[in-house]
Amino acid sequence: MKKPFQIFLAALFAVWILGLTGCSTNQDRYEDPPWLGGTSIETLEERGNYTIFLSLMEKANYKDPISKQLFTLFVPDDDAFNAYFQSAGITSVDDLSEDEAVQLFTLHVLRNPRSRYYLIYEYAWSELQTPKAEYASLFHRKMTPSTSTPYKEIKRYVPGEEGQEVNMYTGNKNIPLWTYEFFGDFGGAQDGSDYKFMYPGSDWEKNYTSNLKGMNWHNAMVIPNPEIPDELEVRTASGFIYFLDRVVPPMPSIEEYMIKHQDKYGLYYDILQRFATYGNPKIDEDKQILYRKSYDLIFDLAEERGPSTNTAVPPQNMWTAFLPPDDVLQKYLNETVLQYYTSIDEVPRVTLYYILQSQLSGALVVPSKLKNGYFNAFGDPTVVTEDDLVSAYMCSNGVVYESKKVLEPNVFTTVPGLLFFDKDYSTLLFVLNQANMLASLSNPDSKVTLFATTNAKLEEYGIRYNPITSLIESRGPVDGTWRIMATNELVIFAQDQIYKGELSDLNGPDKFVEMSSGNFIHYANNEIMSAENQATGNIATVQEVIVNDRNGLLVKVDNPIQSRVVMGKILYGAMADTSISKFVDLLVATKLLDTRFRDPITKEVIPNLKFLAADDYWTALIPTNEAMLKAEAEGLIPAAADSLNSFIMYHFIKGDVVFDDGMESGVFSTNRTYRDTIDFSNQYSKITVTNLPGNLSVTDLSGQQVSVEHEDANILVRKGVLHKINSVLKYYK
């Protein structure tokens, strides 16, 4: 008997592989080998006590396909069905509509015959997963033909469509197969404790012999084969049967579960509807339009496949929702956002997003793994213990845990936290969110200082949030028109407000530091300025410093950090320093300074010093008009084009920003190049900097030492600094 059985398994596996490769042609089976027993239907009829399952099969119009094709059936007996009917308030299959019968029956059916081994190990990534394969038994969810019965829903917060009733449909249900092997590969508890926590009232390995390993089909335990107690599967001529100890009821998704339990989770669900979308329309038999629900930004709890979006492989992962009931969530909201906003309708969408998403995980979370730590959807380590969970309910696409507390994301408890709750600082919150800066600001292992300005001050400066488009706008400097802020300017502005580290000495003496943008600020005596602050006199004054114990400082200032002054603006135009105009004339004459560059969007004329694009940092040493007149009289300004270019470029230090703060001294490269006489490579001419606090001097190649007067130093610009000097520099010995 052993050899025929091996042949049988090989034949079934071949048929199973053909099913996986997409063959969908319905054909009658070949005649059964004489050594096989009866079909699955015949086996159920002969064994008795499965009449209700057979009646359900007929009501669902599945008797003919199952008679002619190969299937795997999960079969509860009549006692299990009667218990289910009693719980559902019906008496028999006759009380079910045809759609309800199909929905219920197809939760107990898989196409293709599968032994226990082939149920556990799926064909994926072009190979059969095995105990030693990468994914092993982790593809534990099995797609069935079952779907939810179409239902009606009223749109709540879709702009222009509030209160509109629509018909809804869902995707196919994926039944989780829970096995001893899965919990081992997943790192959970193989003794069934994780399973029984997620399925209170269900059994695990009850009456199993010692050689059998746990196996449950959703909420139902697979019963050992009554005729062969050492096996779980029952082999038939048309596939496999697994007997269940209970009926698998219609399975709601997490979305559907929340709809039915709004008495408990109505507040969370209502906030969630602000992210709902309705798409993928289709027409049913009655010519009605049906829609499929999804969620924007938030994990899509209505998606039946769960996080497993790769349709080329079997579904794997499931969502986990730690849902706080209404009283818990309302208390949290009262103590946070509703301290500043009068209702949830006013709370920024990004704040609501973090509140909702922090309660979710894009993977299955089981109680035994919580002991090893838990990371939320944002990757934040979050303390959750089994004691924090009141109950569990397994849905078709994930598990719902009733949580005794709201799980807070790091962004709420680190430096940017206040921005999420205080309506006066919501614009900066939107800026940081659109610039993708919130994650770096909320890392508890990285200290930061964030400068925060109110919405009113930001709008006064020329930056605002448009609630209709949900975008940041900037005011045009020429026509005053509000436009969507360019992405690069948005990012630079956001980074201008961030320092990587703690600036705990803002009330101290003069200091220069580099912001996340690469631009520099000067601060002293609680006054901060970057290039534009300095040029316009709109200094940012510290109003309050809020120390965050986790990762740094939130500094409230009365003006934002402003850096929108490039070096060209200091050289030419309305902001130009006229005391250096003669050197500027040389830049224009050599076409190194484009005085007519116009921003294509704002139409603002921005004098462009062309070569600055070659490096990230610059220090300009610009001779005053008096110095230029003296140099002209002494014949130090070259007439030849190449020499004049060398003369100009020698006044710019490339790749470094040097202030007269005593911090940087040594030999630096200028932007003047020459060809080495030995290897003919291009080299940068050098200049030597001697730096003491308030006393900066440079020594050129001729040996001339030029001092920088403190009052002429430290003119901030984007990408660097400009110093005025009282003598031209010589690039030759």
Give pLDDT tens digits for 579-631: 999 999 999 999 999 999 988 888 889 999 999 999 999 999 999 999 999 99
Evaluate whether 707 touches 685 at the Cβ level (below 8 Å): no
Residue 564 confidence class, pLDDT cut points 50, 70, 90: very high
Residue 35 confidence class, pLDDT cut points 50, 70, 90: very low
List, in sequence order, every residue forming a beta bridge with 598; answer none if it has no partner. 605
The whole-number average pLDDT for the span 66-93 is: 96
What are the residues whose beta carbons fall under 8 Å from the beta carbon of 18, sequence distance 6 or more?
A: none
Residue 33 confidence class, pLDDT cut points 50, 70, 90: low
Per CATH, 2-146+172-244 and 254-302+318-408 having the same topology is answered yes
Burial (0-12, 13-18, 19+ Cβ within 10 Å), 191: middle
406: pLDDT strictly greater than 90: yes
Evaluate whether 284 touches 290 at the Cβ level (below 8 Å): yes
| C-alpha to C-alpha distance for 55 and 96, rounded to whole angstroms | 11
Q: Where are the domains of the chain?
A: 2-146+172-244, 254-302+318-408, 441-557, 582-725
Select the more confidently predicted residue: 12 or 619: 619
Q: What local confidence, expressed as pLDDT, does residue 14 receive?
A: 44
Name the residue among 637, 608, 642, 609 with its Cα closest to residue 623: 637
CA distances from 430 to 387, 463, 467 (A): 36, 11, 10
Buried residues in 117-147 as b, exposed as e (16+ CB within 10 A)? ebbbbbbbeeebbeeebebbbbbbbbbbbbb
Q: What local confidence, expressed as pLDDT, does residue 36 receive?
A: 54
CA dihedral in degrees (564, 569, 575, 579; nearest 10)? 140
Mean pLDDT of the chain: 93
Q: Classify domain 582-725 by CATH architecture.
A: Roll (2.30)
Output the CA torsion sign for 104, 108, 110, 112.
negative
Residue 12 confidence class, pLDDT cut points 50, 70, 90: very low
Place of tokens 């015959």: 113
- Written as one letter, the residue type at 130 is T
284: pLDDT strictly greater than 80: yes
Domain 2-146+172-244 has CATH 3.40.1390.10: no
Counting residues of the chain whose pLDDT is more than 90, the rounded percentage is: 87
Strand order of the β-sheet with 448-452 is 498-499, 448-452, 552-557, 540-548, 527-529, 520-524, 511-514
Place of tokens 């099995």: 142
Token pair belonging to 596: 């007519």
Place of tokens 């008496």: 91
Strand 720-725, strand 618-623: pairing: parallel
Residue 311 confidence class, pLDDT cut points 50, 70, 90: confident
Evaluate whether 719 touches 567 at the Cβ level (below 8 Å): yes
The whole-number average pLDDT for the span 215-236 is: 94
The CATH code that applies to domain 254-302+318-408 is 2.30.180.10
Place of tokens 């940081």: 432
Phi, psi of 269, deg, nearest 5: -65, -40
7: pLDDT strictly greater than 50: no
The least confident of 29-38, 199-208, 272-281, 658-667 is 29-38
Single pTM value for the model: 0.86
